[in-house]
Amino acid sequence: MGQIINILSYSFIQRALICGIAISICAALIGIILVLKNYSMIGHGLGEVGFASLTLAVALDLPPLYISIPIVLIAAIIIMIISQKKGESGDIQIALVSTGALALGIIITSVSTGFNIDVSNYMFGSILSMTKSDVIISLILSITVFVVYMLYYNRLFMITYDEKFAQARGINVTFYQFLISFLTALIVVLGMRMMGTLLISSLIIFPAVIAKGLSKSFKELIILSGIISIICFILGILVSFFLNFPTGASIVAVYIVLLAITKIVNKILI
């Protein structure tokens, strides 16, 4: 316990915890909607777009977040617009956008600076190296996501479970679908520094999937998902620090272990 308290005295650990907890909660909230609507792979697709945008930012020597935010938002909107068309599959659009963005990012990297430390940090995650400005930006955007989610909670709930019923109630379903894409894009950009573009989708998917098997109502799902995301993040940070493992991969490993435990417990109880 004394060693853990000593770890918390480091400023870089404090910054990582503040950002990580805020981002984890927001990712868990939006992940519930994406998982229940079978649209969870959008996080992975936008992560690839994030990779392309950060390689562009590094090539132009510009702040990565300021470049990534508008590009990822535009990509999310494009995916949603195409998916609204009849006969178009959302998964297909995500696959097309993500592979195209990944290829573009690799091309930009190869003709510019190569895979330097900045690109690697965003690919694989480097939350322990976050600066004060990263913390401020992450907190502002996290609070924005949380407030918007809470303000439109009831409508998002109806759209998640029954879009036709929501339309019958006069809710503009298309608007809220775009809102969900907008929030997802923000979370992906926020989580890139924490988890890396390759693992960001896990931050969105795992909490909802694990909580889904333990909860009996939408409210329970939200609460459990948030708690699970915080616990797994903190455990992942500790594993990363003590064993000198990559932070993003450590967090995912904790999620996988917890998912396996819940599956085993559920089978035993059933």
The CATH number linked to 183 is 1.10.3470.10
Report the pLDDT value the prediction gives residue 19, as an integer from 0 to 100. 80
Report the pLDDT value the prediction gives residue 256, as an integer from 0 to 100. 92
Domain extent for 13: 2-269
Q: How far apart are CA 17 and CA 158, in angstroms?
A: 33
> Is-contact 170 223, C-beta < 8 A?
no
Angle at 55 between CA 20 and CA 140, to 5 degrees: 30
Walk along the chain (270 residues) in steps of 10 and give the mean pLDDT of each run. 67 77 86 79 76 78 77 81 59 69 74 60 65 76 81 81 79 82 82 72 87 84 90 87 81 91 80
Long-range contacts of 144-147 (CB under 8 A, 24+ apart): 144/186, 145/26, 145/29, 145/30, 145/183, 145/186, 145/187, 146/25, 146/26, 146/29
Report the pLDDT value the prediction gives residue 93, as an integer from 0 to 100. 66
Q: How many domains does the chain have?
A: 1
